[in-house]
């Protein structure tokens, strides 16, 4: 795993993207892993009976994708302090979900190198379905 350092990053810069594309099998794995067994995520007839076009991806799974985006970016020496998002739009299985983040602030607090970010998931048309924020720490080179 490549380590990113506090000195290497600047406000306004984007972090490496993470592309996801959920099979229905992944949604079933998530149902089991998270304990969210609501049928709109794996039973198409049920989803349509509630007025949806079809199956939708769990909001909490997209949130966890953002957790992975950040975990993989901060490396072994970084710390994930806070992350989360709002559930603003629906995503479907078998369609790309692009997880992105941009640095909004960097500062030192109590000897820690703090970095704040805007994070989100977006659909192929660029619509942000899960906008959120995050706080991480990064190590110094020195």
Partner 1 sequence: MTQAQQSVITEEMRAAVGVEGPPVTMEVEKTNCRMFARAVGHSDPIFYDEAAAKARGYRSIVAPPGFLGTPIFRPGSGGGVPGEMGGRGFSIPYKRVLNGGTDYEYFPEVDSICAGDTITARSKIAGFEETEGSLGPMLITKRETTYTNQDGKVVAKMYGTLIQY
Length of the chain: 142
Question: Please, what is the minimum distance in Å from the beta carbon of residue 53 to partner 1?
Answer: 17
How far apart CA 125 and CA 142 sit, in angstroms, is 42
Among positions 5, 9, 24, 64, the unique one binding partner 1 when judged by CB under 8 A: 64
Contact between 120 and partner 1 per CB under 8 A: no
Look at residue 29 and give its three-state secondary structure.
helix
Comparison of 6 and 30: residue with beta carbon closer to partner 1: 30
Contact stretch for partner 1 (CB under 8 A) within 8-16, 23-31, 39-47, 101-109: 23-31
Contact between 34 and partner 1 per CB under 8 A: yes
Contact between 2 and partner 1 per CB under 8 A: no
Beta bridge partners of 99: 18, 121
Q: Which of 18, 133, 118, 1 is nearest to 68 (CA)?
A: 18
Contact between 116 and partner 1 per CB under 8 A: no
Q: What are phi and psi of 78, to 5 degrees?
A: -90, 160
Comparison of 9 and 64: residue with beta carbon closer to partner 1: 64
Contact between 71 and partner 1 per CB under 8 A: yes
Tell me how far CA of residue 86 lies from CA of 3, 51, 117, 139, in angstroms.
Answer: 29, 22, 15, 29
Contact between 61 and partner 1 per CB under 8 A: yes
């Amino acid at each position: 795993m490549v380590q990113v350092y506090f000195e290497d990053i600047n406000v306004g810069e984007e972090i490496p993207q993470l592309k996801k594309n959920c099979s229905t099998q992944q949604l079933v794995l998530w149902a089991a892993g998270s304990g969210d067994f609501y049928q709109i995520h794996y039973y198409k007839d049920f989803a349509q009976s509630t007025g949806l076009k079809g199956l939708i991806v769990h909001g909490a799974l997209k949130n966890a994708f953002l957790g992975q985006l950040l975990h993989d970016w901060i490396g072994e020496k970084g710390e994930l302090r806070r992350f989360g998002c709002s559930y603003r739009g629906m995503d479907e299985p078998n369609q790309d979900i692009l997880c992105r983040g941009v640095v909004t602030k960097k500062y030192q607090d109590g000897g820690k190198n703090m970095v704040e970010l805007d994070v989100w998931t977006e659909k192929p048309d660029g619509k942000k379905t899960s906008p959120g924020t995050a706080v991480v720490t990064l190590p110094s080179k020195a």
